[in-house]
Amino acid sequence: MAIERIAITGGARGIGRATAQACLRAGMSVVIGDVDGDACATVSSELGDRAVGLRLDVRDADSFEAFLTEAENRLGPLDALVNNAGIAPIGMFVDEDPDDTQRLLDINIGGVLTGTRLALRRFLPRGRGHIVNLASSAGQIATAGGATYSATKHAVVGFTRAIRAETRGTGIRTTIVMPGLIRTDMISGFAKPRGTRIVGPDAVADAIVGALHNGRQEVFVPRELGPIARLVTGTPPAVADRIKRVFRADTIMTHADMGARTGYTHRIHDGSNKIQP
Protein backbone atom coordinates (compact mmCIF):
# COMPACT_ATOMS: atom_id res chain seq x y z
CA MET A 1 0.00 0.00 0.00
CA ALA A 2 1.50 3.31 -1.04
CA ILE A 3 1.59 5.94 1.71
CA GLU A 4 1.41 9.51 0.44
CA ARG A 5 -0.44 11.51 3.13
CA ILE A 6 0.15 11.02 6.83
CA ALA A 7 -0.97 12.68 10.08
CA ILE A 8 1.24 12.65 13.18
CA THR A 9 0.20 13.62 16.72
CA GLY A 10 2.66 15.20 19.12
CA GLY A 11 4.51 16.40 16.04
CA ALA A 12 6.14 19.60 17.27
CA ARG A 13 9.16 17.93 18.86
CA GLY A 14 10.98 14.71 19.62
CA ILE A 15 9.89 11.53 17.88
CA GLY A 16 6.92 13.25 16.25
CA ARG A 17 9.01 15.90 14.56
CA ALA A 18 11.66 13.37 13.52
CA THR A 19 8.94 11.18 12.03
CA ALA A 20 7.56 14.10 10.03
CA GLN A 21 11.04 14.79 8.66
CA ALA A 22 11.56 11.13 7.76
CA CYS A 23 8.19 10.96 6.01
CA LEU A 24 8.98 14.08 4.02
CA ARG A 25 12.32 12.59 2.97
CA ALA A 26 10.40 9.52 1.80
CA GLY A 27 8.25 11.70 -0.46
CA MET A 28 5.13 11.89 1.71
CA SER A 29 3.08 14.94 2.70
CA VAL A 30 2.50 15.36 6.43
CA VAL A 31 0.14 17.06 8.85
CA ILE A 32 1.51 17.44 12.36
CA GLY A 33 -0.72 18.09 15.34
CA ASP A 34 0.33 19.34 18.75
CA VAL A 35 -1.37 21.00 21.70
CA ASP A 36 1.29 23.71 21.44
CA GLY A 37 -0.21 25.32 18.37
CA ASP A 38 2.45 28.01 18.05
CA ALA A 39 5.29 25.50 18.10
CA CYS A 40 3.40 23.34 15.62
CA ALA A 41 3.01 26.23 13.19
CA THR A 42 6.69 27.12 13.51
CA VAL A 43 7.85 23.55 12.95
CA SER A 44 5.60 23.03 9.94
CA SER A 45 6.96 26.17 8.31
CA GLU A 46 10.49 24.90 8.92
CA LEU A 47 9.61 21.53 7.40
CA GLY A 48 8.51 23.06 4.11
CA ASP A 49 5.63 23.19 1.65
CA ARG A 50 4.52 19.57 2.08
CA ALA A 51 3.97 19.99 5.82
CA VAL A 52 0.94 21.42 7.61
CA GLY A 53 0.80 22.21 11.33
CA LEU A 54 -2.49 22.22 13.26
CA ARG A 55 -3.31 22.55 16.93
CA LEU A 56 -4.52 19.29 18.45
CA ASP A 57 -5.46 18.22 21.97
CA VAL A 58 -5.65 14.42 21.81
CA ARG A 59 -7.73 14.37 25.02
CA ASP A 60 -10.60 16.08 23.19
CA ALA A 61 -12.46 13.95 20.62
CA ASP A 62 -13.89 17.05 18.92
CA SER A 63 -10.40 18.53 18.60
CA PHE A 64 -9.13 15.24 17.14
CA GLU A 65 -12.00 15.02 14.65
CA ALA A 66 -11.44 18.64 13.59
CA PHE A 67 -7.72 17.91 13.17
CA LEU A 68 -8.34 14.94 10.87
CA THR A 69 -10.99 16.82 8.90
CA GLU A 70 -8.73 19.80 8.32
CA ALA A 71 -5.82 17.50 7.50
CA GLU A 72 -7.87 15.88 4.74
CA ASN A 73 -9.15 19.25 3.56
CA ARG A 74 -5.54 20.36 3.12
CA LEU A 75 -3.96 17.19 1.72
CA GLY A 76 -6.74 14.87 0.58
CA PRO A 77 -7.63 11.47 2.09
CA LEU A 78 -5.10 10.36 4.67
CA ASP A 79 -3.26 7.09 4.19
CA ALA A 80 -1.90 6.79 7.73
CA LEU A 81 -2.15 8.14 11.27
CA VAL A 82 0.73 8.00 13.75
CA ASN A 83 -0.55 8.23 17.34
CA ASN A 84 2.63 9.56 18.91
CA ALA A 85 1.57 12.13 21.54
CA GLY A 86 2.53 11.11 25.06
CA ILE A 87 3.96 12.25 28.38
CA ALA A 88 6.15 10.56 31.01
CA PRO A 89 6.12 12.03 34.51
CA ILE A 90 7.99 9.59 36.74
CA GLY A 91 8.24 8.70 40.43
CA MET A 92 7.00 6.10 42.86
CA PHE A 93 3.29 5.42 42.35
CA VAL A 94 2.45 5.93 46.03
CA ASP A 95 3.61 9.55 45.66
CA GLU A 96 2.00 10.21 42.26
CA ASP A 97 -0.39 13.12 42.03
CA PRO A 98 -3.81 11.75 40.98
CA ASP A 99 -4.01 14.57 38.44
CA ASP A 100 -0.84 13.22 36.82
CA THR A 101 -2.34 9.74 36.81
CA GLN A 102 -5.40 11.01 34.96
CA ARG A 103 -3.31 13.02 32.48
CA LEU A 104 -1.25 9.95 31.64
CA LEU A 105 -4.39 7.90 31.06
CA ASP A 106 -6.09 10.64 29.02
CA ILE A 107 -3.12 11.30 26.73
CA ASN A 108 -1.10 8.10 26.50
CA ILE A 109 -3.99 5.68 26.06
CA GLY A 110 -7.10 7.85 25.71
CA GLY A 111 -5.57 9.76 22.82
CA VAL A 112 -4.57 6.54 21.08
CA LEU A 113 -8.07 5.08 21.45
CA THR A 114 -9.70 8.26 20.16
CA GLY A 115 -7.32 8.64 17.25
CA THR A 116 -7.65 5.00 16.25
CA ARG A 117 -11.45 5.10 16.37
CA LEU A 118 -11.68 8.27 14.29
CA ALA A 119 -9.11 7.02 11.78
CA LEU A 120 -10.89 3.69 11.39
CA ARG A 121 -14.14 5.47 10.62
CA ARG A 122 -12.35 7.06 7.67
CA PHE A 123 -10.18 4.13 6.62
CA LEU A 124 -12.64 1.23 6.76
CA PRO A 125 -15.05 2.56 4.09
CA ARG A 126 -12.02 3.06 1.83
CA GLY A 127 -10.67 -0.43 2.47
CA ARG A 128 -7.19 0.90 3.20
CA GLY A 129 -5.19 2.80 5.80
CA HIS A 130 -2.38 2.33 8.30
CA ILE A 131 -2.47 3.14 12.03
CA VAL A 132 0.84 3.37 13.88
CA ASN A 133 0.56 3.47 17.68
CA LEU A 134 3.56 4.46 19.80
CA ALA A 135 3.87 2.25 22.84
CA SER A 136 7.19 1.72 24.64
CA SER A 137 9.52 -1.03 25.71
CA ALA A 138 8.02 -0.21 29.13
CA GLY A 139 4.84 -1.69 27.72
CA GLN A 140 6.57 -5.08 27.86
CA ILE A 141 9.30 -4.52 30.47
CA ALA A 142 7.36 -2.83 33.27
CA THR A 143 9.77 -0.62 35.20
CA ALA A 144 9.73 0.73 38.74
CA GLY A 145 9.27 4.47 38.96
CA GLY A 146 6.96 4.55 35.98
CA ALA A 147 4.01 2.38 36.99
CA THR A 148 1.25 4.42 35.38
CA TYR A 149 3.37 5.14 32.31
CA SER A 150 4.04 1.40 31.94
CA ALA A 151 0.33 0.70 32.40
CA THR A 152 -0.59 3.06 29.57
CA LYS A 153 1.97 1.52 27.25
CA HIS A 154 0.88 -2.03 28.13
CA ALA A 155 -2.62 -0.85 27.22
CA VAL A 156 -1.46 0.50 23.85
CA VAL A 157 0.14 -2.86 23.03
CA GLY A 158 -2.92 -4.90 23.99
CA PHE A 159 -5.34 -2.48 22.35
CA THR A 160 -3.46 -2.42 19.05
CA ARG A 161 -3.17 -6.21 18.94
CA ALA A 162 -6.95 -6.42 19.42
CA ILE A 163 -7.52 -3.86 16.65
CA ARG A 164 -5.26 -5.93 14.39
CA ALA A 165 -7.60 -8.86 14.97
CA GLU A 166 -10.73 -6.76 14.44
CA THR A 167 -9.49 -5.35 11.13
CA ARG A 168 -8.00 -8.51 9.67
CA GLY A 169 -9.03 -8.81 6.01
CA THR A 170 -10.27 -5.22 5.74
CA GLY A 171 -7.17 -3.70 4.12
CA ILE A 172 -6.25 -1.85 7.34
CA ARG A 173 -2.72 -2.22 8.70
CA THR A 174 -1.59 -1.62 12.27
CA THR A 175 1.87 -1.21 13.75
CA ILE A 176 2.99 -1.02 17.37
CA VAL A 177 6.29 0.82 17.86
CA MET A 178 8.07 0.15 21.16
CA PRO A 179 11.00 2.51 21.69
CA GLY A 180 13.46 2.17 24.53
CA LEU A 181 15.40 5.16 25.81
CA ILE A 182 15.29 7.77 23.07
CA ARG A 183 17.38 10.91 23.23
CA THR A 184 14.59 13.44 23.87
CA ASP A 185 13.56 15.60 26.83
CA MET A 186 11.35 12.75 28.04
CA ILE A 187 14.40 10.83 29.39
CA SER A 188 16.13 13.83 30.95
CA GLY A 189 17.94 12.73 34.09
CA PHE A 190 17.35 9.00 33.57
CA ALA A 191 19.95 6.63 34.97
CA LYS A 192 22.18 4.87 32.45
CA PRO A 193 20.77 1.56 31.19
CA ARG A 194 22.68 -1.69 30.76
CA GLY A 195 22.45 -3.96 27.73
CA THR A 196 20.87 -1.50 25.34
CA ARG A 197 21.71 1.74 23.60
CA ILE A 198 20.25 5.22 23.92
CA VAL A 199 19.42 6.24 20.35
CA GLY A 200 18.14 9.39 18.73
CA PRO A 201 14.55 10.04 17.61
CA ASP A 202 15.64 9.59 14.00
CA ALA A 203 16.04 5.86 14.68
CA VAL A 204 12.39 5.62 15.70
CA ALA A 205 11.32 7.78 12.77
CA ASP A 206 13.15 5.55 10.30
CA ALA A 207 11.56 2.46 11.85
CA ILE A 208 8.11 4.03 11.46
CA VAL A 209 8.72 4.87 7.80
CA GLY A 210 10.00 1.33 7.27
CA ALA A 211 6.83 -0.12 8.80
CA LEU A 212 4.66 2.13 6.65
CA HIS A 213 6.36 0.63 3.61
CA ASN A 214 6.60 -3.03 4.64
CA GLY A 215 3.61 -3.38 6.96
CA ARG A 216 5.61 -4.72 9.89
CA GLN A 217 3.24 -5.13 12.83
CA GLU A 218 5.51 -4.76 15.88
CA VAL A 219 8.80 -2.90 16.05
CA PHE A 220 11.33 -2.39 18.87
CA VAL A 221 13.84 0.47 18.72
CA PRO A 222 16.68 -0.31 19.16
CA ARG A 223 16.24 -3.87 17.93
CA GLU A 224 18.09 -5.53 20.81
CA LEU A 225 15.19 -4.63 23.11
CA GLY A 226 13.00 -7.21 21.38
CA PRO A 227 14.76 -10.31 22.74
CA ILE A 228 15.00 -8.73 26.21
CA ALA A 229 11.29 -7.94 26.22
CA ARG A 230 10.39 -11.44 25.08
CA LEU A 231 12.56 -12.90 27.85
CA VAL A 232 10.88 -10.75 30.49
CA THR A 233 7.32 -11.38 29.29
CA GLY A 234 7.83 -15.08 28.52
CA THR A 235 9.40 -16.31 31.76
CA PRO A 236 8.05 -16.84 35.31
CA PRO A 237 8.02 -13.72 37.52
CA ALA A 238 11.07 -14.69 39.58
CA VAL A 239 13.13 -15.23 36.43
CA ALA A 240 11.79 -12.07 34.82
CA ASP A 241 12.76 -10.06 37.91
CA ARG A 242 16.30 -11.44 37.77
CA ILE A 243 16.57 -10.48 34.11
CA LYS A 244 15.42 -6.95 34.92
CA ARG A 245 18.02 -6.71 37.69
CA VAL A 246 20.76 -7.76 35.28
CA PHE A 247 19.78 -4.96 32.91
CA ARG A 248 19.10 -2.47 35.76
CA ALA A 249 15.63 -1.91 34.33
CA ASP A 250 14.16 -1.00 37.71
CA THR A 251 16.73 1.70 38.48
CA ILE A 252 16.49 3.73 35.27
CA MET A 253 13.57 5.80 36.60
CA THR A 254 13.92 5.32 40.36
CA HIS A 255 17.50 6.63 40.26
CA ALA A 256 16.76 9.49 37.87
CA ASP A 257 18.15 12.96 38.57
CA MET A 258 14.86 14.78 39.15
CA GLY A 259 16.61 18.14 39.07
CA ALA A 260 17.62 17.46 35.48
CA ARG A 261 13.94 16.84 34.67
CA THR A 262 12.72 20.25 35.84
CA GLY A 263 12.45 21.68 32.33
CA TYR A 264 10.52 18.69 31.01
CA THR A 265 8.23 18.61 34.03
CA HIS A 266 7.49 22.30 33.66
CA ARG A 267 6.71 21.91 29.98
CA ILE A 268 4.15 19.15 30.46
CA HIS A 269 2.48 21.22 33.17
CA ASP A 270 2.31 24.72 31.77
CA GLY A 271 0.17 26.11 34.57
CA SER A 272 -3.16 26.03 32.76
CA ASN A 273 -3.75 22.25 32.77
CA LYS A 274 -2.74 22.23 29.12
CA ILE A 275 -0.55 19.27 28.28
CA GLN A 276 2.28 19.58 25.82
CA PRO A 277 3.24 16.16 24.39
Q: Which residues of 226-258 are buried (b: 16+ CB within 10 A; e: fewer)?
A: bebbebbeeeeeeebeeebeebebbbbbeebee
Radius of gyration of the chain, Cα coordinates, nearest whole angstrom: 18
d(CA 115, CA 9): 9
Cα–Cα dist 36/55, whole Å: 7
CA-to-CA distance for 87 and 275, rounded, in angstroms?
8
Which of 213, 184, 269 shows the shortest CA–CA distance to 80?
A: 213
Contact between residue 37 and residue 15 where contact means Cβ atoms under 8 Å apart? no
Clarify whether 264 is annotated catalytic: no
Residue of 64, 67, 123, 149 marked catalytic: 149
Do you know the residue count of the chain? 277
CA atoms within 13 A on the CB side of 253: 23
Active site positions, annotated? 149
